[in-house]
C-alpha cells in the first residue's frame, strides 16, 4: 500500500512538471512557506484549523494555482485522504479538519500547488 501511495505521489509531481513545461506563457514556480502549523503547535483530532502559508512574494503567473493539503507522518504522506483540495493557493490559508489518527509528535502538513512544501513537525493528540 505504501509503495502505491509513493508511486501516486511521484506520478502527481511528474504530471505537474510536465504540464507546466508544456505551456507557452512563462510561468514561475511558487514555493510558499507554511507558517501554521509550526513546531509548537498541538492539534486534537476532530478540531478545525486554518493551515496558513506566506504568499507575500507570489509571482504574477504561477504554473498551478490549485492547492492540496495532505498530512505527513513518519515520513509518509497520506495521499489517499487529502485534508483539502482544489483551493486557490494564492489565498494563503485553508481550513482543515484534523483527522482521527494515532497521537504523535512528528506530523507535518504538506502543501502542494505548483511545488511541494511541508510544515515543521507538530503534535496531534487524540
* pLDDT score of 22 more than 90: no
Using the 8-state DSSP alphabet, how is residue 64 labeled? -
Q: How far is the C-alpha of 108 from the C-alpha of 101, rounded, in Å?
A: 13
Q: How far is the C-alpha of 103 from the C-alpha of 126, rounded, in Å?
A: 6
* pLDDT score of 21 more than 60: no
On whether the CB atoms of residues 101 and 126 are closer than 8 A, the answer is no
State pLDDT tens for residues 75-126. 999 999 999 999 999 999 999 999 999 999 999 999 998 778 899 999 999 9
In this structure, what is the dihedral angle of CA atoms 9, 11, 12, 15, given to the nearest 10 degrees?
160
Q: What is the pLDDT of residue 54?
A: 95
Give the cell for residue 126: 487524540
CA-based torsion, 119, 48, 54, 67: positive or negative: positive
Q: How far is the C-alpha of 40 from the C-alpha of 20, rounded, in Å?
A: 36
Q: What is the pTM of this model?
A: 0.77
Q: What is the pLDDT of residue 61?
A: 86
3-state secondary structure of 63: coil
Q: How confident is the prediction for the chain on average, in pLDDT?
A: 87
Rg (alpha carbons) of the chain, rounded to whole number: 15
Structural domains of the chain, with CATH: 2-125 (2.60.40.10)
Taking every pair of Cα atoms in the chain, the longest distance, rounded to a whole number of angstroms, is: 48
Amino acid at each position: 500500500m505504501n509503495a502505491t501511495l509513493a508511486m501516486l505521489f511521484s506520478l502527481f509531481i511528474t504530471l505537474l512538471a510536465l504540464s507546466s513545461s508544456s505551456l507557452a506563457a512563462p510561468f514561475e514556480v511558487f514555493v510558499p512557506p507554511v507558517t501554521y502549523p509550526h513546531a509548537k503547535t498541538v492539534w486534537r483530532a476532530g478540531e478545525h484549523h486554518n493551515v496558513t502559508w506566506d504568499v507575500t512574494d507570489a509571482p504574477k503567473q504561477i504554473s498551478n494555482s490549485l492547492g492540496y493539503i495532505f498530512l505527513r507522518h513518519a515520513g509518509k504522506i497520506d495521499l489517499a485522504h487529502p485534508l483539502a483540495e482544489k483551493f486557490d493557493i494564492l489565498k494563503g490559508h485553508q481550513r482543515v479538519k484534523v483527522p482521527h489518527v494515532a497521537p504523535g509528535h512528528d506530523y507535518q502538513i504538506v502543501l502542494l500547488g505548483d511545488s511541494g512544501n511541508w510544515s515543521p513537525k507538530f503534535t496531534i493528540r487524540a
